[in-house]
Structure formats: C-alpha cells, structure tokens
Chain A
Amino acid sequence: MTDTAFRTGATERRFSLDLRALSPFIALVVLIIAGSLVNPDFLTISNLTNVATRSAFIAIIAVGATFVIASGGLDLSVGSMAALVAGVMILTLNKVGGADSATLVAGMAAAIGLSVACGLANGLIVTFGRIEPFIVTLGTMGIFRSLVVWLAAGGTITMRNADLRELYRPIYFGDIFGIPIPIIVFLVVAGIGALILYKTSFGRHVVALGSNEEVARYSGVPIWRVRTLVYVIQGVCVGIAVLVYVPRLGSATPTTGLLWELQAITAVVVGGTALKGGIGRIGGTVIGAIILELVANIMVLSNFVSEFLVGAVQGAIIIVAMLLQRSLHRGR
C-alpha cells in the first residue's frame, strides 16, 4: 500500500503564475502607460510621488480592511470612523492647548485610543451579537458620522493653535531622504500587516475563519477572538491614517472621509482579496490603493472626464474588478 511513485515531483511550487495575484500589477502597468500617453507631466517623479502620498490614507485603511475581508467580514464604517477620530483628535489638541510635542502625543493617543474603541465596538457587536457585519457597520457608520456632525455643530473642527499646526505639519508634508513621510508610514503599516497576516498563527486563523467558519470552529480556532481582533486592527489602521491626514488640512468636517469605505473596499478587491473571505493579499491591496489614486490623477490631468466624477469612476472600478474576478474564477 505504501506506494511512493506518486510522490515524485510533488514539491511545492513556489512560483506559480496565479493570474488573480498578478492582475493588479498588470492593471498598474497599463494605467501608467495610459497616463504617460495622456499627459507628459504624468510620468514625472513629483507627480508620481504626489499620487503615492495621496493614496497613503486609503492604503493604510485598506490594509486593515484586508484583514476584515479576508476573515469573511466587512467594515463600512471606516470613513465615518476616520472623520470622528479626526474631529476628536483636533478637539483634544485644542483642549490641551499647548504647542509642544506633549500636546501632540496626547492628541495622537486620543486618536488611537478612540479608533481602537470604535473597532472593538464593531468587533464585539458582530461577534457576540451574531449580527451580519454589513448591518453592524452600516449602523456604526451612521452613528460615527452623526457624532462628528454633532461635535462640529454642523460646521468645521479646526486646529486653533498655529504653532502646533506648524509642529505637526511635517507628518504629512515632510520627508526622510526625499521619501514623503506618509509613504513611509503606509509602507511600514503594509509591512507589519503582511507579517501578521502571512507569518503568525493569528493571520492563519483569519484566513481559516474566512475560508469556512465551521471548519475553523471544529478545528479549535478561537473564532470569537479572531473575529473581534480583525475589527480592532481595522480601527488601529483608521487611527494611523487619521494621524497622517490631520496635518494635511488641520480640520475635520462632516464630509471628511466621505466614501473612504468605498475606496478602501475597492482597493482590497482590486488587489485580489476574495470578498467572501479566505484569501488576503496585502501587497495587492497596496497596489489597489495606488491604482485608485492614479485613476483620479489621470482624470485630473486629462480632460476626458470631469474630475467631479471620480467617485463614479471608483464605483465603476469595484464593479468591473468583481466581474473580472468572477470570469477569472470561471476560467479555471
């Protein structure tokens, strides 16, 4: 019975050509070629750096969304959460009032603390309330959004201390060795995210949960803890994105973070993560976020479509990406 013939050549293939993993990169190359044809200014270092910097917020949030979606969940509240966290952070900075690093640290701690709390709330309700994540985060999306409107009394929450703004400014506008800080932050977040998703037991459990919850449960995976934690990770990512976002404008308004959930989920799906869970691709997500910003950039540089229609184009992209994924899946 112990026949060994079948084992020949049974080594694990490490470099398989997976179209699904490759397609975001192909799309990126196509877009860059298209962009350079549309406008000669497109293919300049300054323009591309600008695109990458602007994509940082969505990329950071989308890294968190990769965890949520790979686990079979969904978080629609990220945009509202970002607005609320930004608002509370600015209010904290104003309240503390100083123009020193201590004030800044206090504001940042408030931002991260609140985003963890928001993520934990989403996670606990989804896990212990046994409610569809779509419904839970639709609800918290409304809650977070109206809280920021209420805090701003319908107007704008602005950093009042000009010195503090000056101190905080480099986090968005500064660079290290010529690389803008937001890009560094987003690469670090993506790197840590990849490490957690691919190299730790927790990451393995996320994928198992997204593949088949029952199998995970029967295999002794602590599914409640895993499910709660993915939303906390999403919260932390939103918090980090806000830290980079606030120095850009120095204010939060009721429209801050509008449609970020669409962009984050689109980046994740364009990147090849399966919307039904079980496959998570951090690298693809990063490319997805850059693709979205490139499309917006090309729209601005060209005159084909009004830049006011960016949201429509992004909405179209997620639908087309899903259609492509489905046809790739069928083609197998």
Chain B
Amino acid sequence: MLATAIIVFREVVEAALVIGIVMAASRGVIGRGRWVWSGVAAGLLAACIVAGFADKLAEAAAGAGQELFNAAVLFSAVIMLGWHNVWMRRHGRELAQEMNRVGRAVTAGERPLYALALVVGLAVLREGAEVVLFLYGIASAESGTALAMLGGGALGLALGAIVGLTLYFGLLKIPVRHFFTVTSWLILFLAAGLASQGAAYLVQADWLPPLGRTVWNTSDLLSEDSLAGQVLHTLVGYVSRPDGVQILFYLSTLVIIASLMRVFRDKPRRPAA
C-alpha cells in the first residue's frame, strides 16, 4: 500500500503544484473554480483515454509517439502560460487600479481563464495517464489487493493535494500589491521548466540533439526523487543532469515570454485592445 501511495504521490504532486499556482494566479476572478475544476475533470478523462490507447500511442510516429505526445502536451502548456502572462501585462494597469480602489484582488476583466484551465487539464492528463496505467496494472495482476491499492492511491492523492494546498495558501499570504507580480514570475519559471522537459522528450525521440549530455550532475546534491528536488523540478524546472538543449529551451522560453510581456505591456497611449 505504501509503495502504491509513493508512486501515486510522485505523479500527483506535479499536477497539484500547477493547480496551486493557477488557483493563485486566478485569485479574485468569479467562476474560476468552475474553469479550473473543469480542467481537472477533462484532464482525468483524457488521461483514461490516453492510458487505454497507450500501446497504439507508443507505436505511432515510428515508435516515438509517446515522446512526441508528451512534448506536444508540454509545449501547449508553455504557450498557454506565456499567453496568460502577456495578457496580465497588458491589463495590468486596470487590475492594479481596481485592486488599489478596493484594497484587495477582485475580479478585473475576464482574464484568460480558458488558458489556465487548459494548463491544468494538460498537467492532469500527463501525470494522470501514468497513474491510471499503474493502478490498472496492479488491479488486473494481483487479486485481493484492490483494497490496498485503493487505499494507497487515495493516500498518495491526499499527500499530493496537501503539497498543492500548502503552495496555494502560502501564496495567498503575499501582500496584494506584490501578488500578481509573484504569480507572473512563478508562471514564467513554470513555463521554462516545462519547455525544458519537452526538450528532453524530443531528445529521447531522437528529434533533437542533446547538445552536450549531462552539462552538470547535481544528483548527489539534490536528487529529483527527493520531495524538495521534485518540487523544485516543477516550480523552477530543476534538473540534476540537464542536456545542453534543455538549458537552451529553458533560457529561450524565459527570454521569449519576458520579451513578449515587455512588448505588449500596457502603455497609456496605446488604445485598449
């Protein structure tokens, strides 16, 4: 049961952290819960479908289907996160005015909730598909372990949720006037980390050269298997043995999103779009 819990926890924690950040970034928007939880539900459904077709997916694209699918999911999330940040920059002024007026983060405009819902859905899909396969494997192989499996799965899920909730409530403690600056930075680094993971899948698929294997190795110092390593892996894209191309994708994503945020930032003379 404990082994099941640990594996489920490991898969759940990344999605839980993404949900925590997204819930914080959409703070004050009416109806955000509906969007975010729809994202979770759609992600779960898609995860079951992907798990069901896992063998077909693996055979696709000359055996690189799994890698390309994961990379596509990751890069879609990167684009949505970038879009969210650019949008926030563009509407930052009205948001700030509104917040100053009311003294807290209230709904200001719509905000691209669909982008955030999609990010959540994609995170749940990626991590969820593996959980489904894993649990299905246990359920079909060993009779009489269904209860232990269910218990382990629930425990892993609960522990993952605790990590996500801790991040969310921790973020809520940040003073309102810095709040969206912090969430924008978090989303920027989250996006860069996902882009680097996507690049790793493309290297695995042999679609990208590694441009230097294991540029550094800090696995003895901080392993990605440890909780701290895994949390940092999700939040800022920590990798203990990065390929050169992962670093390239990481930095490029930071620079591209940050530049787009600068180019499209809200200026007084610019007519509202």
A, B assembled together: no
- Residues of A at the B interface (CB closer than 8 Å) are none
